[in-house]
């Protein structure tokens, strides 16, 4: 069977061998096969300049490689390659626009906690972004793979202060930039203990005249309530940072904001990790308030609250009492009695503002805390949306669903579906299971489009996977557009 091709005029997909686009009617002589990412071999040379060393990461719509820049004395670079293999034809233009938007956004930024962008180019119809290579691993890996226990509050508050400064910088741009997907997996921990924020794939400029985002994006557990209704703002990033700090201190992703709104309360940080000082817990819970107006006013205020909580905790452990910010700071924000001194006192010559670089490094260089709790299981499922395409009546399609434990302990659970035609094996799984087989049996189904769901329920959390497919009449030829979808 010939590979599917795309129309260069409108981006619609057509079956291999077709002469005209089913979407706009244009000749398909310029059409090309859909190309997946992550397939570039070592030593492959891009634009006669960048030599691929190895693939670093692979996502749903992109891959990242480590490469040498022959024009800059073989300096190491990270090259992001955009994928089209999982993008629907009508969304292709949007994905390309998002890719170029990300590059323009990053090229306009200059901050030590952000990766620098060097180049943007296309080659053989694919899109590449050349960035600073950031060594190390992300904070989620630090939690799950390297420590395997909840992290020390000293490290977590230091990272929180640094990321607050990053958000303050982004929010102060003209127009402001809202990151929208802050989570431990998007924060790199460098060998010297500092952090960098990566992956601006869904960040956007904040325009006062635009009341809503183009779509709801983010990650459950880290996304605030307003982001589910496509209304992100500066304080949305403050919630996501609070959720990230909560995750690092407890080993648990917070309950999704809609579930919290429905009455599922957050488990207290100190109940999971008793080493965390009460003042640190109060700062983080303030950032995690469901109502934006009840969070910190801006990222700088959050940074000052974290700094004060850190100093207060260190002083108490040394038997010394210190005053905190004014009523505009930690006291009013957390419900604690407002200390007597002003926030300006923290920045006086007697108490200089500390930079994240002054705190002890983490990772393999940091001692493990003997009292830190072990991580609970944490369910990982991929993909979260499954598109099985066209299925003929009375035929069966098979897909694979990856499953893993990204936490500690032993993962176990079961799988449910909402229609009989959708079956998943095994229905019960344990730690040894790495994949689920998804079968869609179109026998007896009516011709048309279907959207159904798989519920993966476990002792490490639940995940709902959306499954889409289109049932076509038996013997119907694939002609690019299905009358069953109304297109």
CATH number of the CATH domain containing 427: 2.60.40.10
Task: Examine the domain organization and report whether 278 and 302 are in the same domain.
Answer: yes
Task: Examine the domain organization and report whether 74 and 160 are in the same domain.
Answer: no
Task: Please name which of 371, 372, 349 lies closest in space to residue 250, comparing C-alpha atoms.
Answer: 372
What residues form DSSP beta bridges with 13? 6
Residue 353 counted as domain residue: yes
Task: Examine the domain organization and report whether 323 and 399 are in the same domain.
Answer: no
Average pLDDT value for the chain:
77
Q: How far apart are CA 21 and CA 35, in angstroms?
A: 18
Q: Answer for the pair 177, 170: CB distance below 8 angstroms, yes or no.
A: yes
Gyration radius of the chain's alpha carbons: 25
Residue 384 counted as domain residue: yes
Task: Please name which of 298, 357, 308, 289 lies closest in space to residue 170, comparing C-alpha atoms.
Answer: 298
Residue 385 counted as domain residue: yes
Task: Please name which of 458, 482, 454 lies closest in space to residue 468, comparing C-alpha atoms.
Answer: 454
> Region 7-24: what's the mean pLDDT?
60
Most confident segment among 56-65, 124-133, 290-299: 290-299
For residue 284, pLDDT beyond 90: yes
Is residue 12 classed as helix, strand or coil in its secondary structure?
coil
Is residue 36 classed as helix, strand or coil in its secondary structure?
coil
Give per-residue burial for 457-480: e unless 16+ CB within 10 Å, then b. Answer: ebebbebebebebbbbeeeeebeb
Decide which of 101, 132, 163 is a domain's last residue.
132
Q: How far apart are CA 118 and CA 461, in angstroms?
A: 40
Q: Answer for the pair 166, 244: CB distance below 8 angstroms, yes or no.
A: no
Task: Examine the domain organization and report whether 118 and 188 are in the same domain.
Answer: no
pLDDT score, position 89: 60
Task: Please name which of 408, 389, 409 lies closest in space to residue 399, comparing C-alpha atoms.
Answer: 389
Q: Answer for the pair 415, 386: CB distance below 8 angstroms, yes or no.
A: no
| Helix residue ranges per DSSP H, 225-384 | 234-250, 257-261, 269-272, 278-287, 299-317, 330-334
Decide which of 365, 398, 428 is a domain's last residue.
365
Only one residue has tokens 């061998």, namely 17
Q: How far apart are CA 375 and CA 147, in angstroms?
A: 9
Residue 271 counted as domain residue: yes
Is residue 107 classed as helix, strand or coil in its secondary structure?
helix
Number of domains present in the structure of the chain: 3
Q: Answer for the pair 177, 171: CB distance below 8 angstroms, yes or no.
A: yes
Residue 214 counted as domain residue: yes
Catalytic residue among 181, 199, 213, 237: 181
- Domain holding 92, by residue range, is 35-132
CATH number at residue 40: 3.30.200.20
Residue 118 counted as domain residue: yes
Active site residue 181: yes
pLDDT confidence tier of residue 248, bands split at 50, 70 and 90: very high
pLDDT confidence tier of residue 230, bands split at 50, 70 and 90: confident
pLDDT confidence tier of residue 370, bands split at 50, 70 and 90: low
Higher-pLDDT residue of 486, 111: 111
Only one residue has tokens 């079961």, namely 414
pLDDT confidence tier of residue 373, bands split at 50, 70 and 90: low
Task: Please name which of 126, 244, 129 lies closest in space to residue 185, comparing C-alpha atoms.
Answer: 244
Task: Examine the domain organization and report whether 250 and 233 are in the same domain.
Answer: yes
pLDDT score, position 359: 35
Residue 371 counted as domain residue: no
Task: Examine the domain organization and report whether 166 and 274 are in the same domain.
Answer: yes
For the chain, how far is it from start to end, CA to CA, in angstroms?
24
Task: Examine the domain organization and report whether 248 and 189 are in the same domain.
Answer: yes
The DSSP 8-state label assigned to residue 331 in this structure reads H
Residue 337 counted as domain residue: yes
Task: Examine the domain organization and report whether 142 and 126 are in the same domain.
Answer: no
For residue 326, pLDDT beyond 90: no
Task: Examine the domain organization and report whether 212 and 332 are in the same domain.
Answer: yes
pLDDT confidence tier of residue 66, bands split at 50, 70 and 90: very high
For residue 158, pLDDT beyond 90: yes
Decide which of 296, 331, 365 is a domain's last residue.
365
CATH number at residue 328: 1.10.510.10
Task: Examine the domain organization and report whether 121 and 199 are in the same domain.
Answer: no
Most confident segment among 223-237, 321-335, 430-444: 430-444
pLDDT score, position 84: 57
Task: Examine the domain organization and report whether 226 and 329 are in the same domain.
Answer: yes
Task: Examine the domain organization and report whether 240 and 314 are in the same domain.
Answer: yes
For residue 145, pLDDT beyond 80: no
The set of residues, in sequence order, having a beta carbon less than 8 Å from that of 67 and lying 6+ positions away, is 46, 50, 51, 52, 53, 76, 77, 78, 79, 130
For residue 210, pLDDT beyond 70: no
Q: How far apart are CA 335 and CA 315, in angstroms?
A: 21
């Amino acid at each position: 069977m010939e590979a599917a091709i795309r129309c260069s005029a409108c981006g619609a997909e057509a079956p291999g061998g077709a002469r005209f686009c089913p979407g706009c009617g244009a000749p398909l002589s310029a059409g090309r096969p859909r190309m997946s990412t992550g397939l570039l071999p070592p030593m492959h040379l891009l634009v006669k300049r960048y030599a691929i060393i190895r693939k670093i990461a692979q996502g749903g719509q992109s891959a990242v490689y480590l490469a040498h820049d022959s024009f800059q004395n073989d300096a190491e670079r990270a090259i992001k390659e955009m994928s089209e293999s999982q993008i629907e034809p009508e969304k292709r233009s949007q994905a390309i626009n998002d890719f170029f938007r990300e590059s323009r956004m990053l090229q306009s930024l200059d901050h030590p906690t952000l990766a620098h962008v060097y180049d943007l180019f296309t080659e053989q119809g694919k899109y590449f972004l050349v960035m600073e290579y950031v060594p190390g691993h992300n904070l989620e890996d630090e939690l799950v793979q390297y420590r395997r226990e909840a992290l020390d509050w000293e490290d977590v508050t230091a990272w929180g202060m640094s990321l607050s400064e990053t958000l303050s910088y982004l929010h102060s741009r003209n127009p402001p930039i809202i990151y929208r997907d802050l989570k431990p997996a998007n924060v790199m921990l460098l060998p010297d203990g500092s952090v960098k924020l990566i992956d601006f794939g869904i960040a956007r400029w904040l325009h006062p005249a635009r009341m809503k985002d183009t779509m709801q994006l983010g990650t459950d557990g880290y996304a605030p309530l307003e982001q589910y209704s496509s209304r992100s703002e500066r304080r949305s990033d403050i919630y996501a940072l609070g959720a990230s700090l909560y995750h690092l201190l407890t080993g648990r992703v917070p309950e999704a904001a809609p579930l919290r709104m429905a009455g599922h309360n957050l488990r207290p940080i100190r109940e999971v990790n008793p080493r965390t000082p009460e003042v640190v817990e109060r700062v983080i819970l303030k950032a995690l308030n469901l109502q934006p107006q009840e969070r910190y006013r801006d990222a700088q205020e959050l940074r000052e609250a974290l700094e004060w909580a850190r100093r207060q905790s260190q002083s108490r452990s040394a038997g010394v009492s210190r005053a905190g910010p004014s009523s505009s700071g930690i006291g009013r924000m957390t419900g604690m009695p407002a200390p007597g001194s002003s926030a300006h006192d923290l920045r006086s010559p007697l108490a200089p503002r500390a930079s994240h670089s002054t705190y002890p490094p983490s990772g393999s260089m940091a001692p493990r805390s003997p009292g830190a709790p072990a991580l609970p299981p944490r369910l990982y499922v991929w993909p979260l949306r499954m598109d099985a395409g066209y299925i003929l009546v009375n035929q069966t399609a098979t897909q694979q669903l990856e499953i893993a434990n990204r936490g500690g302990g032993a993962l176990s659970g079961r799988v449910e579906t909402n229609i009989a035609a959708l079956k998943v094996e095994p229905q019960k799984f344990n730690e040894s299971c790495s994949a689920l087989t998804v079968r869609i049996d179109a026998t007896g189904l009516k011709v048309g489009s279907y959207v159904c769901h798989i519920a993966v329920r476990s002792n490490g959390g639940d995940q709902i996977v959306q499954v889409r497919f289109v049932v076509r009449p038996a013997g119907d030829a694939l002609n690019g557009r299905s009358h069953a979808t109304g297109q």
